[in-house]
Amino acid sequence: MTRRYKWLLPAFYIVFLMLPIYWLLNMSFKTTNEILGSFTLWPKNFTLENYTTIFTDPTWYNGYIDSLTYVGINTAISVTVALPAAYAFSRYRFLGDKHLFFWLLTNRMAPPAVFALPFLQLYSEVGLFDTHIAVALAHALFNIPLAVWILEGFMSGVPKELDETAYVDGYSFWRFFIKIFIPAIIAGIGVAAFFCFMFSWVELLLAKTLTSVEAKPIAAVMTRTASTSGYELGLLAAAGSLTIIPGAFVIYFVRNYIAKGFALGRV
């Protein structure tokens, strides 16, 4: 391929990516009659009715609040506990460190389908079933190893002299860690938080299994609607379109860190 036409491949790829998203948006602005009655490339009778339904019906908008709540809790927990652990892995050698690191990573390889049923029993047993914290903790299974992995990569990029100088200056470990070290790897924290957000936001199997009413994720609300009320495709499309927004926001904020984070963080 010559240099001049090089841009064509990414351009076509992006068009290919946008087509299904466009179709979803297109459907969300149509009435049910138009969807089922005819094939139109853009909405002929433009309507916001589907969106109005979602924003006025608590079973719908609570789904979004529930999802964002457990995703938020999960991201906070995962990054907080991963920070000191990643520091330990990047700076010290200790008994069983390599095995421990590998064991953590194997949890990223565990199929959620394997854990769905035992999780249901475990969280029912400890009385956390149908709470946000249950889903947040369950998602920590694969997000903590990921966060440790990313943060460890970033921390290894920070020269050890930074730590040594601070200790010589009389900083205690925690004061150094919070005042100096965390600001030095803030980009890495951003990337780790991005990935925790992403994998918790998109996962459904565990989130659905661990909730029934109180903490039901939006994705599960959609599944229920699709199956019980027949063919409300417009409503489904509108709900789906709305789930793209939080992700788009997050990407926009971390856009400059993504590529760098991948390279440094050895994801």
Q: Which of residues 84-103 bind other proteins (CB under 8 A)?
A: 84-85, 87-89, 91-95, 97, 100
Q: Which is nearer to other proteins, 20 or 170 (CB)?
A: 20
Strand, coil or helix: 168: helix
Q: Which is nearer to other proteins, 17 or 186 (CB)?
A: 17
Q: Which is nearer to other proteins, 49 or 81 (CB)?
A: 81
The footprint of other proteins on residues 233-262 (CB under 8 A) is 233, 236-237, 240, 243-244, 246-248, 250-252, 255-256, 258-262
Among 73, 201, 210, 211, binds other proteins (CB under 8 A): 201
R_g of the chain, CA atoms, integer Å: 23
The sign one gets for the Cα dihedral 55, 210, 228, 33 is positive
What letter does residue 180 receive in the DSSP assignment?
Answer: I
If phi over 0 gives left and psi between -120 and 50 gives alpha, with beta otherwise, what is residue 130?
A: left
Give Cα 207 to chain centroid, integer Å. 12
| Shortest distance in whole angstroms from residue 213 CB to other proteins | 18
The b-or-e profile of 222-255 (16+ CB within 10 A means b, else e) is beebeeeeeebbbbbbbbbbbbeebeeebeeebe
The footprint of other proteins on residues 113-172 (CB under 8 A) is 113-119, 121-122, 137-138, 140-141, 144-145, 148, 156, 159-160
Interface with other proteins, residue 202, by CB under 8 A: yes
| Shortest distance in whole angstroms from residue 226 CB to other proteins | 7
